[in-house]
Amino acid sequence: MTLPSPSRPSPIPAAAAPAAAGLPPRPGGPAGRRVGPIVAPAVARARGRQGRFLTGAASVGGAVLIGMDRTVILSMTGGALVAIALLPVWWPTLRRFRGARLMLALTLATLLSGIALAYFSTTPAGGLHDVDVRIGLGAALRVLGVALGVGLLLWGRRLLTLRWLVGAWAAGSLVANVLDLPGSVNPWKYQLGLPVTLLLLVALAGRGAVSRYRRSDRHGRRLRSRRIGATGTTALALLLMAAVCAVNDYRSFGAMNAITAVLVLYRARRGDRAARRSTAAARGRTGARGPGGRARLVVAAVLLAAIGVGIYRGVPPLLLSGALGAQLQAQAAEQIGLGGGSLLAGGRPESQATLALMQVRPEGFGLGVVPTTQDLLVARAALQTVGLQPGNGYVDRYMFGGQIRLHSIVADLWSLGGLVGLLLAAFLVWTLARAVLVQVAGAPAPGGAEDTTAQGPALTAVVVLMALLGLWDLGFGPIFSDYSEVMAAFAFALAARGTPTPRRGARRPAQVPAATARRGPGSRSSERAPSRSTTSPA
């Protein structure tokens, strides 16, 4: 028998091919050949839709559990347990988000360093400290579980938009905090402030301009419709939240809302100027080229520094004047008096104890290390400089009651992991500060692939607000309660860089010039621009 050549048809009939291969014949004879090409793609599409639905549901559920932050067993939350179970699923996704794997590596290195420091602390050279294994294990699992939750959030970013991701996290946080409302001293400050603000911004992210009012003449004829754009609506919502926070003694978060409103307005103003420059450059005008990406980042950094200095210099006199209420006036006067004229030093005296301990023991303490009497005396001497007298219950029972808690995530990471913990804290500070600058500048960062032009003002406000909150918690928040907020801000900062970087060989969407994108569909240039359906594939 002669072998069939590629140009000649096979001598075996199509209907007899299964029998020749030793397989049962297909039902229906020749008519069965039409079933495969028609049914198989439909089944594949149905399975694909079902798989995407299940993946999306798992992504939303994981974000909700991470936002709830409820301990299930051994300081591990439900979101952390889900993240561990799905580790083989979301681990390959992290290579598309720059900095995610480095954060996990630094977290593991911090925990290993904490174990080594704990062993060293039990030696005579380390001060003969005792080690509480239960406390050390709880701290290690807490830090590790929160870090693994970032991977689960970034995995959900593959199918969910940033709006859905933030909304799911905020909804979970709100549900968990509502359960803690009975007996709360300040419900807005400790339970409702953050999730309600995020949900409000997420709701605004799905809306355009909001009609405000209409102007009419004396005959009732409409003259003009006034509308507040998305930027103005977002800024008004942030200022409203800032006012609510000021009334409910949540000064730090209220200031963050006000700062975010100013930055959102600045970004919109800078975007309008950039659009005009792009339009002028397209028409051939000279001198229309605006500043580059690095220059925009520098301008944004200078603006942030100016806002920070203005708040630091302007808020204390405003509080002391009584404009925000007699209660806040009394608290500010007491804290400024304790801090020697500084509101921060008087409001957060733990920083003095941290600096004193760092001078005595720069290498840190380790996981589960119990402070000695010498450590307590060093901290008391430093706290006396800001008015906290010896025998204070807060110092003896909270800060050094069986473990070291310095009310600062940076300080706690140093205490648990030493210099490696400080390196992890520095990386988190750098990532969050860079996210704020990139969002405010509204342009890709130098050397990166971020694209912030596709986000609206509400989502920009979400990323900036969470990054500012994360920076504040790193400096002045306890690690066991606020570390989850810092890692959520870290995940949102990475997720806000746009669609994850595609693999090699994947087609990238065509870039639309900013000037063309800002023109409406009725402009002449947009009418001349070819549509995607008429362009030939690459």
- C-alpha distances in angstroms, 117 versus 182, 412, 418? 41, 14, 8
Contact 158, 431 (CB under 8 A): no
Which residue type is seen at 160?
L
Check whether 51 has a pLDDT greater than 80. no
**Which of 224, 226, 228 shows the shortest CA–CA distance to 210?**
228
- With bands split at pLDDT 50, 70 and 90, how would you rate the model's confidence at 288? very low
Specify the pLDDT at position 355. Answer: 92
Residue 61 burial by Cβ neighbours in a 10 Å radius (0-12, 13-18, 19+): middle
How far apart CA 455 and CA 171 sit, in angstroms, is 21
Specify the pLDDT at position 41. Answer: 61
Which residue type is seen at 146?
V
pLDDT in tens, 232-247: 999 999 999 999 998 8
How far apart CA 246 and CA 158 sit, in angstroms, is 38
How far apart CA 222 and CA 224 sit, in angstroms, is 6
Tell me the percentage of the chain whose pLDDT exceeds 70: 70
How far apart CA 80 and CA 498 sit, in angstroms, is 25
Read off the pLDDT of each residue in 166-193 and give the average, rounded to a whole number.
93
Which residue type is seen at 436?
V
How far apart CA 232 and CA 272 sit, in angstroms, is 14
- With bands split at pLDDT 50, 70 and 90, how would you rate the model's confidence at 503? very low
Q: How many residues does the chain have?
A: 538
Check whether 479 has a pLDDT greater than 50. yes
Check whether 266 has a pLDDT greater than 70. yes
Q: What is the DSSP letter of 203?
A: H
Q: In the structure encoding, which two tokens stand for residue 60, read together?
A: 């939303």
**Residue 420 CB coordination number (10 Å):** 23
The helix/strand count (H/E) of the chain reads as 23, 6
Query: Based on C-alpha coordinates, what's the Rg of the chain?
Result: 29
Question: Model pTM?
Answer: 0.78
**Residue 313 CB coordination number (10 Å):** 9
- C-alpha distances in angstroms, 414 versus 24, 111, 117, 205, 325? 70, 11, 11, 38, 38
Task: Report the run of H or E that residue 131 belongs to, with start and end.
Answer: strand 130-131
